[in-house]
Every structure is written in C-alpha cells, then in structure tokens.
C-alpha cells in the first residue's frame, strides 16, 4: 500500500482516498510576474512524478495547479513596466508553459487563474464574516481573526502564543491583532483600475491566501485528498488556507474531530545554492530557461528525482554533471539490446524493488538505485535475457519519465557545458579513418585514432559485423 508522509500528522500514513480509485490533488502554482526559476522546476517535477505514480498505480487523478495572476509583486512589476496586469501575467504564463513543455511535464487537468475566481473568494470571505472569523477594519481591509480559530497552528506546529507577527505579514493599522491576516485588500488610489474589483466591502482585491482556498474548494470540493507545494508555503500560506477553508465550513466551533479540508499535506524540500537557500531576495537563483541552455531537460529531471522529494538539495554544475553521468550509465545499458515489446513480469525482483520504493512515500532515490542495479545486470546478461531486462528497465524508468529516448541519440548528444571541438561529422570521419586503417592492418594508427577520440571524450564500441558505435563520455 502507498504510504505518504503527511505534514499535518508529521508521519507516514497509508494512503486512502476519499473516493475509492480517485484522487483529487491541488498544488500551489506560480505567481506570474517573472520567469520561473529552478526552485519552481522542483515543485513542478516533484508533483509531476506524484501524479504519474498515482496513475500508474491505477488511480484516476484530478490534478489542479493554480496560477496567481493578481498579487502585490505583480502589481509593482506592471507599474514598473508601464503595462497592463493581463499583458504582464500572460507573457509569463506563456513562458512558464514553455519551460514546462521543455521539461516534459504533464499539464495539470485544471490550471485556474485567481482572477477568474473573484466571486468564489468573495463568497468565502462572506461566510467567514458570518462565522465571526473575519471583520472589516477601519482601513477598509477585511482580515481573518486568527485567535478566534481554535485549530490555528496545527499544520506548522506553531501555537498562537509562539507566533511572531513579523514572520507572517506586515502589521496594518486597522488590524485588531497583529497576527490577523488580510482576506480582502481595500483599493489604493495610486493603484491601476485593473487591480480592483467591486465587493460588499468596497473596491479592492483578494489577499494571496484566500485565492488558493477558494479555487481548491470550488474545483475539488470542501474535502479533497492531497494538497502540495514547496516547504516554504507550509507556514503561513498553507496554515492560513486551513484556517480559511475549515473556518468557512465549521466556524469558530471547529474541533479536531471535524473532517479536515485536506487529508494529506505534501511539501517538497528547498533547493540550496552553495548550501544556502535559493531565493530571489538573495540573488542566488537560476532561471529554468537558462539552466536548459546548458543541461538537457532529462538531466535536470534526473537531478531533481535522485534526491527524496522532502529533502533539500544543493544546486551546482557539478551536481548536474553527476546526474548526466548517471543517465549516461543507464542509457549505455539500454543501448546494448533492443527492448522487447511485451508486458514486463510484475513478479520480477526489479519490479518489486522499484514498486516498494515508490510506495514508500515516493522514495525515488531507492527506486533509481534499483534501476542502476538492473543496468548492471543488463551489462552481465546475454541474448534474450539482456533484451528482457532492457525492457524492464525502460518500463520502470517511464514512471519517472526517464530513458524514453533512443539510447544512441542520447549518448551522442553534445554536452554544452564542455568546450567540445568535435562535431558529429568530425567524429564519424575519424571512425571511418580508423576502419580504413584496420582494413589495411595498420593497427597502430587504428589504436591511435581510438586513443585520441577517447581523450576528447568519445568512447568507441566495436559491434559484430564491423559496426562501430560511439558515445560521449
């Protein structure tokens, strides 16, 4: 049975969907005011992996990942650029989709934009006011009254007495309590017209937290199975989502006995650069599109998934080069025999190891270790057994979206991080010259050509029938 680490319970739990055979999953997506960076790539790749494994396990999955297209950062950037909000956000939505396509990611089943759900947000805010969990302050903002929600702090493990308002939100003059957070922001005179909507509380726009609560509840229902996102969202964003969603449903009398709005909370770890958390404020972040100019998308995916999704990972060129070397090893094993076009044996020890790893909270490092052991077995096998094992490797790797390309094509692909002087044409000319030397029994020249190519990172493999295949090391 699949076990998932639930941030809410701080433990692994057997996965039991609310509706047998069906999974409803919501993942917090991007705020579209700039290009996506490698931290965004990890979120997208991790939950792409989760969706693929759930579907491979027989579940029907509804995968929702939102787009935040109204937010303070968006407004500031649009004003700075002198362009409409919609033009700014659409440009970066298109860029995000281009990055996602290059990475080979499954597109979410639904990708709601916050600005399309203003009515639903206002409805939820209205219910929170009726439940006396929200109030309109003197400055026009509508705020959530944190101290009136008894279950606040369950997800993060923070008690109200421990909370520091400075960790969470700027303290506004109209708040009754510094811990309260905004649900509806009153329009400011200096802000453009396309940043405000009419509401019962005057013109304004939604706060960030209410956006996800309204979209997830509207599309997946008041109770759904999995909510995911980066570890940095656990507090305050996801804590506030719980307060809003469950507060609107149960009110101030909410107890731990009431059904939670989400059964399983999943959070992927941070990406670090030189052992420091990557962030735009620190200036140590890398855009996906820039990374993909230097590394193949499959290498980036392999780099992300060779670490457990909950663990922090350190980004560096060296780490990505090691990931590329790992893929080369797997593709080299695959290149030795054509995969057979038949179903793999579900009782195979390799299938069992891989499945057990993935069912243990999506333990991709252990699953990938099983793939490497299988590759070693392929290297030792002969004939039909080699082809059968190659098929198993390719099918298992498909669950992680690896090893689905022609092995020779991948192995001959250039490495843009290196200063390579040899083109494919030059390599094949050298191979032809070596073949001619061998036919002339000039083995010294043949060996020298092989040695020179190897020194330039080109590995030759002589096959039966006088065929020579090559790959980059």
Annotated binding site for ATP: 280
Which residues make up each annotated binding site for Zn(2+)? 28, 212, 237, 241
Q: Is the backbone of residue 37 left (phi > 0), alpha (psi -120 to 50) or beta?
A: beta
DSSP H or E stretch at residue 339: none
Quickly count: other Cβ atoms within 10 Å of residue 250's Cβ.
Answer: 19
Report the 10 Å Cβ neighbour count for 112.
Answer: 23
Binding site members: 28, 212, 237, 241, 280
Q: Using CA atoms, how far apart are residues 314 and 192, in angstroms rounded to an integer?
A: 40
- Residue 207 CB: number of other CB atoms within 10 A? 23
* Pairwise CA distance, residues 235 & 172, whole Å: 19
Q: How far apart are CA 325 and CA 315, in angstroms?
A: 16
Pairwise CA distance, residues 406 & 453, whole Å: 23
How many other CB atoms are found less than 10 A from the CB of residue 87? 11
- State the Cα–Cα distance between residues 130 and 135, nearest whole angstrom: 9
CA 290 to CA 196: how far, in whole Å?
Answer: 35
Three-state SS for 1?
coil
Distance of alpha carbon 131 from alpha carbon 76, whole angstroms: 34
In this structure, the strands spanning 262-268 and 134-136 are unpaired
Distance CA 71, CA 51 (A): 28
d(CA 65, CA 107): 9
């Amino acid at each position: 049975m699949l076990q998932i680490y639930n941030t809410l319970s701080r433990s692994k739990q057997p996965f039991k969907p609310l509706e047998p055979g069906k999974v409803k999953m919501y993942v917090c997506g991007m705020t579209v005011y700039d290009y996506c960076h490698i931290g965004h790539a990890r979120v997208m790749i991790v939950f792409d992996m989760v969706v693929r494994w759930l579907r491979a396990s027989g579940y029907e999955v509804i995968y929702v990942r939102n787009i935040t297209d109204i937010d303070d950062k968006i407004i500031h950037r649009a004003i700075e650029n002198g362009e409409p909000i919609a033009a700014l956000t659409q440009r970066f939505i298109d860029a995000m989709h281009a990055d996602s396509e290059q990475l080979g990611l499954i597109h979410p089943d639904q990708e709601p934009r916050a600005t399309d759900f203003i009515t639903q947000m206002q409805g939820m805010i209205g219910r929170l006011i009726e439940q006396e969990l929200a109030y309109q302050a003197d400055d026009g903002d509508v705020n959530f009254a944190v101290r009136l929600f008894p279950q606040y702090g369950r997800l993060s493990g923070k008690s109200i007495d421990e909370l520091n308002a400075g960790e969470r939100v700027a303290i506004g003059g109209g708040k009754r309590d510094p811990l309260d957070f905004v649900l509806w922001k009153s329009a400011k005179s200096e802000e453009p017209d396309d940043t405000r909507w009419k509401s019962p509380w005057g013109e304004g726009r939604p706060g960030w937290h209410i956006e996800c609560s309204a979209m997830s509840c509207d599309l997946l229902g008041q109770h759904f199975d999995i909510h995911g996102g980066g570890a940095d969202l656990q507090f305050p964003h996801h804590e506030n989502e719980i307060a809003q969603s469950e507060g609107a449903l149960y009110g101030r009398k909410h107890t731990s006995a009431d059904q939670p709005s989400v059964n399983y909370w999943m959070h992927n770890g941070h990406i670090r650069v030189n052992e420091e958390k990557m962030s735009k404020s620190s200036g140590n972040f890398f855009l996906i599109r820039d990374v993909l100019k230097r590394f193949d998308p499959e290498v980036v995916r392999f780099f992300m998934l060779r670490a457990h999704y909950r663990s922090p990972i350190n980004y560096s060129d060296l780490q990505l080069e090691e990931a590329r070397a790992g893929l080369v090893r797997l593709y080299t094993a695959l290149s030795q025999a054509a995969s057979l076009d038949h179903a793999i044996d579900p009782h195979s020890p390799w299938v069992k190891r891989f499945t057990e790893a993935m069912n243990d909270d999506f333990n991709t490092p252990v699953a990938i270790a099983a793939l490497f052991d299988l590759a070693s077995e392929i290297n030792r096998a002969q004939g039909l057994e080699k082809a059968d094992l190659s098929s198993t490797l390719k099918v298992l790797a498909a669950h992680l979206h690896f090893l689905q390309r022609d092995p020779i094509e991948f192995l001959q692909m250039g490495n843009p991080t290196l200063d390579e002087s040899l083109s494919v044409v030059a390599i094949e000319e050298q191979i032809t010259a070596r073949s001619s030397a061998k036919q002339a029994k000039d083995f010294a020249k043949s060996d020298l050509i092989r040695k020179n190519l190897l020194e330039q990172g080109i590995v030759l493999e002589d096959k039966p029938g006088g065929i020579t295949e090559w790959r980059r090391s």
